[in-house]
Structure 1
Amino acid sequence: MSAEIVQLVEHAGPYLTMAVSAYGAAVLTRTQDAAAEATANVGQRILQAVWHRRNEQERAELAAAVQDAADAPDDEDAAAALRQQIKRALREDADLVDELTRLLPARSETVHVTASGERSIAAKTIGTAVTGDNATVQP
């Protein structure tokens, strides 16, 4: 499985969870206009995009995975089974990869900054930083 598909499904995970939590199994049949919130809407649109590209049997499998996830929102196995359905669809349809990539918001950069010790400073970017007593800053 390509790393791109794994990353795409990981990025989509919170949206899928929110959509299933908000709408349950009806997420596959709700109209897009009925979405009440942005995160659930993205998850719903992802699931509907996958749904519309599957055959009858694959739709039944996807619907079962959505129903399981909706029935047990805290069950990691149910969530993983749903993600597996999405991965399978993505492996089989390169156009779907492009479509879902466009649906997902751009990823934000995660930055971890740690300061340790007396008067230490931690920042991703910094202009002027002064530590110490009676410091003078010249422009």
Structure 2
Amino acid sequence: MAEAEFVQGMTPFLRESLGAYGDGVLTGEPAAGASGTAAAEVGRGLLRATYRRVDERGREGLEEAVQEAAAEPGNEDAVGALRQEIRRALRKHPGLEGELAALLAGAGGGTTTVIASGTRSIAAGGNIGVAITADGHGSSKP
């Protein structure tokens, strides 16, 4: 999976964590009156794992992006800037991708992309049993 798609798949978790923790997501201090859902905890884990791996400059960038995204929850550009900080960290720290993927997989967060293309194509995100795409299935034609 491409890096951009991988990080894009984190978006719902990042949004949940920012909603629950606000700009305290990196320190674990919940926002006033907010409760952390399972998705918020995954998002928090993604951000904290990234924060632990980066250097001081990376931490500053991540903190700034978190503050901006928390201050403007509906701002797509702010969330995009946060994803960009994560992408920078992934490029500098190759082992980080495995750690983040494990957090997403543990959440059932689905980093699976399923695409069907072309005649008689079938796409499934898991085991669906028997799938037949041939013409005349069930007929007595030889």
**TM-score (normalizing by structure 1):** 0.71
What displacement does 1:76 show? Answer: 0.7
- The number of equivalent residue pairs is 111
Runs of 4+ in 1 over 4 A off after TM superposition: 108-111
Residue 99 of structure 2 aligns with which residue? 99
Greater fraction helix: 1
Q: Percent identity?
A: 39
CA RMSD of aligned residues (A): 2.5
**TM-score (normalizing by structure 2):** 0.69
Q: Do the aligned residues in 1 keep the contact of 2:19 with 2:70 (CA within 8 Å)?
A: yes
Work out which structure has the larger RCO, using CA pairs closer than 8 Å and 6 or more positions apart in sequence: 1
Residue 74 of structure 2 aligns with which residue? 74
**Unpaired runs of at least 5, structure 1:** 112-123, 126-139
**Unpaired runs of at least 5, structure 2:** 30-34, 116-123, 129-142
Residue 61 of structure 1 aligns with which residue? 61
Residue 130 of structure 1 aligns with which residue? none
Q: Do the aligned residues in 1 keep the contact of 2:21 with 2:36 (CA within 8 Å)?
A: no
Q: C-alpha distance in 2, partners of 1:54/1:9?
A: 16
Instruction: Determine which structure has more spread, i.e. the larger CA radius of gyration.
Output: 1
Q: C-alpha distance in 2, partners of 1:53/1:110?
A: 31
Q: Is the aligned partner of 1:14 residue 2:20?
A: no
Q: C-alpha distance in 1, partners of 2:78/2:69?
A: 5
Q: Do the aligned residues in 1 keep the contact of 2:18 with 2:70 (CA within 8 Å)?
A: yes
Q: C-alpha distance in 1, partners of 2:75/2:91?
A: 25
